[in-house]
Structure 1
Amino acid sequence: MRGSTAGLADTLASGSRAHAALLEFADVVFASVVVGPAVVTYWKSTWSLMDLYVLTDQQVSSAAACAAFGLCCDLLLCVFQTQLSEYLRPDRGRLTYYVFSRLYTCLAGVACVGAWRGVWNLLNECTGDSARTLLSTTAAATLSLAALRTLRNICAAPFAVAVDAPQDYFEVPTMFRTSSRETVLYILDCIFSVTVVGSLVVFVWRGSWALLDIFLFPDDQVKSCWTSLIVGYALVVFTFALQAPMRWAAARLQGAARLLLADVYHFVSFIATVNVWRGVWGLLDIYFFPDTPKLSNWCSHIISLALLILLNCSNSVLVRGVYIDAEEPAGDCVVFPCHYLRLFFHKERTKKRHKRALVAAAAATRKTEEASVPLQIPEEKV
């Protein structure tokens, strides 16, 4: 769910320090208050619609069907990402690109939710929901991700905002970063990234969520959800407040110490994320048309997806790609990819600079042409 911030710090480093701090604060608020709840609403509504329509009388078959559909779609979109990037580009037709890219997001979003729902429910059927089993599977999955240097992939909105930029709209980073030209290795890389790393991430989320269900006011759903929401957002504020000191510390560490710091910081952000998601998810069930689940979930699905598309960050709903822990240089490895407003203003500044450069070049060309025109002497004076 999490993107990389490699190179973003240098790209966005312009303007006064106060202006940069204000934009950073605005990005954090935007990610926490707008994008985060919208992404959770999309996932909750899509998941619930699958509960309502996909083999409702057969839980195991329903989970298996969702897992098969979701994992196969995720794998195909990963394998053919290069072809999609080549053939769906704004310069080949802006309207065609916009329509098909958003259709891609709709399909990929359903596939992601289906894969997660399938793996999640199959785990429930196979391992049960006792606290001891949940603790052991969650710990094992967390340590496995840490050993693979992929623990950061458990993070999600509000700690990640994916802007719908044409240059990397279809990009799905794989675990071993193989080239699509190495056909067999590339396909194996895609399979490992989608099935192994992706499933381990589901294990961690499912275990953490279920443990909260067990230990956080299990007999009072309303109190439990509100507590999750409050604790989650308190941790969100705390985690973002630690951004500057964590970046300072990471820039001065090397090797295993830097990696450990990044992993601990990302795990704290995950605890905040899972609490926010559980709180918003549960409160939607409690307060948003609870007596008419189909109406509630269809409205939530359409409104949240339309809002994210209009805000140009609909890819925030997708779970795709494998990002490596501490792959960014210096302290950038602990910076969360929430650069919505900063990217917008950076693009506007770049456009203005480009326009001024064109005007200056045109003026210089005119002066050169005027200087090169020979002086004309009137005939009568000759």
Structure 2
Amino acid sequence: MATFITERATDIVLVLFLFSPLVICYWSSTWAILDIYLFPSNQTTSGSVSITVSIIIMGMAFVMQSRLNDCMRPDQPVKNVIVTRIYSYVTAFAIVNNWRGIWMLLDRYTGVTMIGTCWNLIGGVMGLVLMRAYRNTLAPPGAWSLDVNTGTPFTVVTLFRSERGSILHVVDVVFSVMVVSSLVLLTWRGKWQLLQLSLTLALNNDLWQVAVTAGAGNALLLLLCITEFPARKLSAYLNRERPILQVVFEDVLVFITCYMSVMYWQGMWDLLRLLLKGSDSNLTQWLIHILGFGGLMVLRLSRTLQFSGFFIDGEFPEGLVLTPAYVSTLLMTSSHNLKNSTDTCHEKSNMASVTTVGAEVTPPDNMDSLVEVLESTHM
């Protein structure tokens, strides 16, 4: 018991003070680099190009996933690592472009107002809840993916799990990329700007705003980490007894977790901006960019940045997994054996089981591929 508590405490410290800052370093620096080089004098053109680039890359990720998976060879581990890390970098770059482009165009044509912010939040939350896709708003420190050896590292899961090769799959891909991603962004934008506008009214000092958001975000996420396992047990119980209530409970939990993550991100993002004030933005941003992705790659967490698909509310019968079991899996288990470890993700049964509430969504034919994705995903 003492060993478990020690490992869990170490996990929490690593998540809050090492892993998550590296993710924010990558996002912040990539966003800033695009601001510097991609049509800096024309906000509309810059945002439009970012969206176009992201759609092309994410579309190719869906189309080419089977061919890329076929290229993986168990006897070529070095090649596999190189290819998967390049894939993680490219898809992560696409996600940042997508968010930046849409965010910039919304700023340009709708402005930043309290009323508009509330409508963004309401529209995003209601749309995702109605589609049972609200869990896709999770992000570090609330969700992680580990760089483990799976047979299908390039598999991208669509929301409705349609069969590949059919016209419905094409519609599913387009809908997932265009609609679900946009609703996730609207949810984050609404929470981010609501917090930003509220703090601006209450505090005029930038340093105090950073202290409040970063401090509160860390404190609340720490509380979430401590209460995660009881929450998972309750979620598992509701799955057996009241499946609909499991979805409601997890949506509430995800909403709280997402808002905590927004507070954490905004605080750390603004802190990074204040620390870099007055420095050579070009060189500094590139160094932070390399540090962010390189650090996550060395720590075997670079898949957290990549585009892995969409998941369904209430999908796991053993409850929702949030923060990663890092010390007890990655540091204590070799990369080759991690995928088969019985302790991966605290309980492998949680990741290897896929169920739906009311059978509204049919699991895909290629269930083995989906299971491998879920085995490596802490979400």
TM-score normalised by structure 1 residue count? 0.82
- Any runs of at least 4 consecutive aligned residues in structure 1 with deviations exceeding 6 A, and if so which? none
2:147 to 153, 159, 164: 164
2:313 to 325, 334, 340: 325
Name the counterpart of 1:9: none
Instruction: Single out whichever of 210-219 and 150-159 deviates more from structure 2.
Output: 210-219
1:259-310 CA-to-partner distances (Å, cap 9, x unmatched) read: 1111111111111101111111111111135332112211110111111111
Name the counterpart of 1:301: 289
1:75 maps to amino acid: G
Q: Does the CA contact (< 8 Å) of 1:266 and 1:334 recur in 2? A: no
1:30 aligns with 2:24: no
Evaluate the alpha carbon distance shift between residue 349 and residue 220 of structure 1 in structure 2; reply closer, same or farther with a 3 A threshold.
closer
Report the Cα distance in structure 1 between the residues aligned to 2:206 and 2:145, rounded to whole angstroms: 32
Report the Cα distance in structure 1 between the residues aligned to 2:267 and 2:210, rounded to whole angstroms: 4
The SS at the match of 1:333 is coil
1:242 to 208, 222, 227: 227
Quote the RMSD (CA, aligned, Å): 2.2
1:177 maps to amino acid: R
Name the counterpart of 1:7: none
1:234-274 CA-to-partner distances (Å, cap 9, x unmatched) read: 11012112213312322332122111111111111111101
1:2-55 CA-to-partner distances (Å, cap 9, x unmatched) read: xxxxxxxxxxxxxxx544443333323222221111001100000011011101
Name the counterpart of 2:321: 335
1:78 aligns with 2:66: no
2:160 to 176, 180, 197: 176
The SS at the match of 1:252 is helix
Q: Does the CA contact (< 8 Å) of 1:162 and 1:313 recur in 2? A: yes
The SS at the match of 1:291 is coil
Q: Does the CA contact (< 8 Å) of 2:58 and 2:91 recur in 1? A: yes
Query: 1:119 Cα deviation (Å)?
Result: 1.1
The SS at the match of 1:321 is coil
1:44 aligns with 2:32: no
Evaluate the alpha carbon distance shift between residue 116 and residue 320 of structure 1 in structure 2; reply closer, same or farther with a 3 A threshold.
farther
Report the Cα distance in structure 2 between the residues aligned to 1:126 and 1:133, rounded to whole angstroms: 11
Q: Does the CA contact (< 8 Å) of 1:66 and 1:115 recur in 2? A: yes
Query: 1:194 Cα deviation (Å)?
Result: 1.3
Report the Cα distance in structure 2 between the residues aligned to 1:80 and 1:197, rounded to whole angstroms: 21
- Give aligned pairs, total: 333
Query: 1:350 Cα deviation (Å)?
Result: 9.2
Instruction: Single out whichever of 281-290 and 338-347 deviates more from structure 2.
Output: 338-347
Q: Does the CA contact (< 8 Å) of 1:65 and 1:118 recur in 2? A: yes
Query: 1:319 Cα deviation (Å)?
Result: 4.2
The SS at the match of 2:144 is coil
Q: Percent identity?
A: 28
Evaluate the alpha carbon distance shift between residue 351 and residue 129 of structure 1 in structure 2; reply closer, same or farther with a 3 A threshold.
closer
Gaps of 5+ in 2: 341-379
The SS at the match of 2:159 is coil
Report the Cα distance in structure 1 between the residues aligned to 2:328 and 2:153, rounded to whole angstroms: 18
1:246 maps to amino acid: A
1:126 aligns with 2:126: no
Name the counterpart of 1:88: 72
Name the counterpart of 2:80: 97
The SS at the match of 1:214 is helix
- Equivalent runs, 1:1-382 vs 2, <5 Å: 17-91=1-75, 93-167=76-150, 168-180=152-164, 182-217=165-200, 219-253=204-238, 254-288=242-276, 290-329=278-317, 332-336=318-322, 338-344=324-330, 347-348=333-334
Instruction: Single out whichever of 339-348 and 270-279 deviates more from structure 2.
Output: 339-348
Query: 1:349 Cα deviation (Å)?
Result: 11
Instruction: Single out whichever of 162-171 and 18-27 deviates more from structure 2.
Output: 18-27
Evaluate the alpha carbon distance shift between residue 345 and residue 184 of structure 1 in structure 2; reply closer, same or farther with a 3 A threshold.
same
Report the Cα distance in structure 1 between the residues aligned to 2:49 and 2:219, rounded to whole angstroms: 38
Instruction: Single out whichever of 242-251 and 150-159 deviates more from structure 2.
Output: 242-251
